Chain A
Amino acid sequence: MKQAIKIGLIGGVVEILLALIGMIEAFSQRYIIIDIISMGHTLIFLVALLMTSLSAKRTPHGNPLRAMINALTSGLIIGGFLAVLVVMGSLVNLRKVFINASPLLYQWLTFNQGIKAGIPLLLTGGALCGFLAGLLFLSSKLFRRVLIISLGSVVGAGVLQDLLRPTFALWGPLSVMNEWLFSANGLTLYGAIGLFVLIAALSYVWAKKGNVIRANLNGLSPSNQRVLRITTFLTLIMILLVLPQILGLFLSEVLTIVGLYVLLGLGLNIVVGFAGLLDLGYVAFFAIGAYSIAVLTSPELGFFNLSFWGALPFAIFIGVLSGFLLGIPVLKMRGDYLAIATLGFGEIIRILVLSDVLRPWLGGAQGIGKIPKAHIAGIEMATPQQIYYLILAGCLLVGFISWRLRDSRLGRAWMAVREDEDVAQAMGINLISTKLLAFATGAAFSALSGAIFASKLGSVYPHSFNVMISINIICLVIVGGMGSIPGVLVGAFALVGLPELLREFAEYRLLVYGAALVAMMLLRPEGLWPEPLQRRELHEGESSDAKPNH
């Protein structure tokens, strides 16, 4: 009970915070289901649902009645908090302190019903959330899964409407669905219900029959399996190849940004995820790659006037070299000391390119412009749709290298060094070369990303390379799952792609990052798509009392 009250209080405070910083209002202009449920409402609802299910889950001994009561209690408290906010807001002018506490906010919170009707509505809403969470907790696992997946799909379809609509529009049969599913702003009511039922049915069938299907697939003869794998692979490649044509200019632009971060993430994943070296100055190599291309190609400086492809090997080589150079002084450092030292390195590079002394060579604060585009087969890669292919090729290449490295001898050495440096050495692993190779490989990937970035933008400026980039990359690696290659992809889409799609986010980006990281650490510390090793540690340990004996 105490726990339930505590969780309710936390939930209430979170909701009020979201309301007062204006996030709910910002999202209330966008609808999941047109004119019925806005993203703001969804946000409130999701937070309440999350907290109340937490409350049900934390019930001691899993007593069903107690779990339900706890969830209801937490839900009521959350609803109560919001009600108090509305009442307070109507009595005192909170706007003096909280500029976002506008009348509009209260309207949204009370579903336009005014205060009198709004307060019981909020309380009922909170209790309803609690009830739903309790029900979910008590219901069978199958039901829970089906419900969560289908609800998630509806919310997902609403959030990603800008992405889905143009995609559907391209193909006849699907474009019919567009009409039915989407309105100008959010899903239609029928569309949402239909989608919900459809996904629920599909996931129910999959849950029931999935094993059979999987068994059938596994039962296929090896040659058939091979055919199947190759077909899947080819289909995937086909989709990746036509994607920019489907998505159009804006979404392709988003994809290229995500792609650049995937490249960066894959590089940092080697340094932090594989070798366990916390590098906070990773943006330095991105900058080095970009500036190398700029200096080598830009006619504005006129030193070399190389083409993009002529300059790229040098850019990557310079990246690798600087990876080694950074690696040498920090070889003996571990953990937090390493983090601080690398953080400094990142800043040094930024300040160097900003400096007036180096201006004739590096352009100073004005940066370097007129960087030529890359050409492939005589075609200039100028629009986002074209640059997409360049980045896709880079991602595929780097992903493949990462994957091969992970299973290689070097990959095992990285793993040993990450787990225990001293023991790794006692096993015959050369600590120095292992660490330096991690820094150098990571730097190479980052420099590649920087090179493409420079040619994409056509110019480089010092302020593009601030410490926030490093932080973003670290966040996406952590959220995706340290050491996991698909995790980098998932992390990049979640932390870079999604905020680009939901421009309302922009203002709250850092807040969302912070919240996402905290939530990840609490709920899913192994990441969204964890590497098997991490999952093993965090979940097998639960079944046994023995703790790692370090």
Chain B
Amino acid sequence: MSLLEIENVHTYYGQIHTLKGVSLTVDQGEIVTLIGANGAGKSTLLKTTSGLLRPREGSIRLEGKDLTHDPPHEIAAKGLVQVPEGRRVFGRLTVTENLEMGAFAISDQKLIKENLDRVFQLFPRLKERHKQVAGTLSGGEQQMLATGRALMANPRILLMDEPSMGLAPILVDGIFEIIRKLHTDGTTILLVEQNARMALQVAGRGYVLQSGVVVLSDSAQNLRQNEMVRNAYLGET
């Protein structure tokens, strides 16, 4: 049994059939990446998984328990936590307040403190700026904060939606460094990326999504060698 099992999920925006039967699994401790062009339906899949959108068909299970019909806050409380696309930190709250908000579902103050220390250890930069208002952080720092905020909830699995989007190349390296570090700490991650080159370097396995359909799934190593992936997503010929 995988940690996260997405099975034959169909999601619609009104009449528009956006996800056409997507299946995907993530095992405990794994980084799995989902790559695909703009508009392929990657964010739609993550939103469906975290309950913000409802699939018309198919099922989603976490540790074997069905959560297809659970409301988003319950899904989050069960340990499936999303780092949304575009970061979406609480711009008017300070760094620390943002992080505390991430631990909303936890009532044990000691545990919250522990998590805060852990996040600050992972992101010393956030510790330096813990009193700063999040809206005034740089893009890279906001991505750290959004990730840290998600970690505050002690997630069983982290869904990251294009963490490298809109960041300068040097910051992108930093973000992937952090993803690697989370991986060594044992965090399970489903990583959605357009930056296929970097994503396939940190991930163990990968899926390729095209127009709402998974067209390829393999180990990251094999995907890097794959003719189609190289042409379409790695820009090699």
Q: Which residues of A contact B (CB under 8 A)?
A: 409, 412-413, 415-416, 419-420, 422-423, 425-432, 533-534, 536-537, 540-541, 544, 546-550
Q: Beyond A416-B104, A549-B89: 12 further Cβ-contacts under 8 Å? A: A412-B101, A413-B104, A419-B90, A425-B52, A427-B102, A428-B153, A429-B73, A430-B71, A431-B71, A432-B71, A548-B135, A549-B86
- Judging by beta carbons under 8 Å apart, are A533 and B92 in contact? yes
Interface centre among B51, B84, B93, B150, by most chain A C-beta atoms within 10 angstroms, is: B93
By a CB distance below 8 angstroms, the chain A residues around B89 are 549
Q: Which of A415, A431, A533, A541 contacts B72 (CB 8 A)?
A: A431
B86 and A550 form a contact (CB under 8 A)? yes
Which segment of B15-23, B111-119, B137-145, B222-230 sits at the interface?
B137-145
Q: Please provide the chain B residues from 66 to 92 with a CB less than 8 Å away from any CB of chain A in the complex.
A: 71-74, 76-77, 81-82, 84, 86-92
- The answer to whether B104 touches A419 (Cβ under 8 A) is no
Q: Which of B71, B88, B102, B142 contacts A422 (CB 8 A)?
A: B88
| A residues less than 8 Å from B50 (CB atoms) | 426
Chain B residues near A432: list those with CB within 8 A: 71
Please determine whether A537 and B90 come into contact, CB atoms closer than 8 angstroms: no
| Identity of the chain B residue whose Cβ is nearest the Cβ of A536 in the assembled complex | B133
**Chain B residues with CB under 8 A of A426:** 50, 52, 72, 76, 81-82, 84, 150
Q: How far is the CA of A39 from the CA of B86 in the complex (A)?
A: 53
Assess whether B93 is in contact with A419, with CB atoms less than 8 Å apart. yes
Tell me how far the C-beta of A536 lies from the nearest C-beta in chain B, rounded to whole angstroms. Answer: 6
**Chain B residues within an 8 Å CB radius of A547:** 135
In the assembled complex, the CB of B159 is this many whole angstroms from the nearest CB of chain A, namely 9
CB distance from A459 to the nearest CB of B (A): 45
Contacts of A422 in B (CB 8 A): 52, 84, 88
B71: chain A residues at CB < 8 Å are 425, 430-432
| CB-defined contacts of B136 to chain A, threshold 8 Å | 540-541, 544, 546, 548
Known: A427-B104, A430-B71, A546-B137. A533 touches B81 (CB 8 A): no
Cα separation A432 to B72 with both chains bound (whole Å):
11
Give A430 to B142 CA distance when docked, in angstroms. Answer: 25
Q: Name the residue in A420, A428, A429, A432 with the highest tally of chain B Cβ atoms < 10 Å from its Cβ.
A: A428
User: Does B202 sit within 8 A of A, measured CB to CB?
Assistant: no
Q: How large is the interface on B (under 10, 10 to 19, 20 to 34, 35 or more residues)?
A: 35 or more
For window 126-164 of chain B, which residues contact chain A by CB distance below 8 Å?
Answer: 133-139, 142, 149-150, 153
Q: How far is the CA of A547 from the CA of B142 in the complex (A)?
A: 11
Mark contacts of B92-103 with chain A using CB atoms, 8 A cut-off: 1 yes-contact digit, 0 otherwise: 110000000110
Contacting pair B105 A537 (CB below 8 A): no
Across the interface, A412 reaches (CB within 8 A) one of B51, B72, B104, namely B104
In angstroms, Cα B89 to Cα A544, docked, is: 17
Measured between beta carbons, the chain B residues less than 8 angstroms from A533 are 92-93
Cβ-defined contact, B91 with A427, below 8 A: no
Q: Which of B87, B134, B136, B138 has the most CB of A within 10 A?
A: B136
Least Cβ distance of B171 to chain A in Å?
A: 13
B103 to chain A, nearest CB (A): 8
In the complex, 27 of the A-B residue pairs with CB atoms within 8 angstroms, ordered by the A residue number, are A413-B104, A415-B90, A419-B90, A419-B93, A420-B90, A422-B52, A423-B84, A425-B52, A425-B73, A425-B76, A426-B72, A426-B76, A427-B102, A427-B104, A427-B105, A427-B149, A428-B74, A429-B104, A430-B73, A432-B71, A537-B91, A546-B137, A548-B134, A548-B136, A549-B91, A550-B86, A550-B88
List B residues at the A interface (Cβ < 8 Å).
Answer: 50-52, 71-74, 76-77, 81-82, 84, 86-93, 101-102, 104-105, 133-139, 142, 149-150, 153
Known: A412-B104, A427-B153, A429-B104. A536 touches B76 (CB 8 A): no
Closest to B142 in A: A549
Q: In the assembled complex, how far is the CB of residue B147 from the closest CB belonging to chain A, in whole angstroms?
A: 13
- Residue on A with the closest CB to B166? A549
In the complex, are the beta carbons of A423 and B135 less than 8 A apart? no
Q: Which of B77, B86, B90, B138 is the one whose CB lies under 8 Å from A416?
A: B90
- What separation, in Å, do the CA atoms of A537 and B87 have in the docked complex? 18
Q: Which residue of chain B lies nearest to A425 when distances are taken between CB atoms in the complex?
A: B72
Known contacts A430-B71, A430-B73: does B139 contact A423 (CB below 8 Å)? Answer: no
B76 touches A427 (CB 8 A): yes
* Residue in A closest to B94 when the chains form the complex, CB atoms: A536
Residues of B within 8 A of A423 (CB): 84, 88, 90
Q: What are the nearest 10 A-B pairs in CB distance?
A: A428-B105, A548-B135, A548-B91, A425-B72, A428-B76, A544-B136, A537-B92, A428-B77, A419-B90, A546-B136
Most chain B C-beta atoms within 10 Å of own C-beta, residue among A416, A419, A432, A536? A419
Q: Which residues of B contact A419 (CB under 8 A)?
A: 90-93
CB atoms of A549 and B92 under 8 A apart: no
Report Cα–Cα, A295/B136, bound state, in Å.
54
**Which of A427, A536, A540 sits near B101, CB closer than 8 Å?**
A427
Q: How far is the CA of A393 from the CA of B137 in the complex (A)?
A: 44
CB contacts (< 8 Å) of B153 on chain A: these are: 427-428
CA distance A429 to B92 in the complex (A): 18
In the assembled complex, how far is the CB of residue A531 from the closest CB belonging to chain B, in whole angstroms? 10
The closest CB in chain A to the CB of B87 belongs to A549
A544–B135 alpha-carbon span in the complex (Å): 10
Q: Could you tell me if B84 and A537 are in contact, using CB atoms closer than 8 angstroms?
A: no
Q: How far is the CB of A539 from chain B (nearest CB, A)?
A: 10
Query: Shortest beta-carbon distance, A274 to chain B, in Å?
Result: 13
Residues from chain A with Cβ under 8 Å of B104 in the complex: 409, 412-413, 416, 427-429
How far apart are the CA atoms of A534 and B133 in the complex, in Å? Answer: 11
Q: For the complex, what is the distance from the CA of A412 to the CA of B88, rounded to whole Å?
A: 17
A420 to B86, CA, bound (A): 13
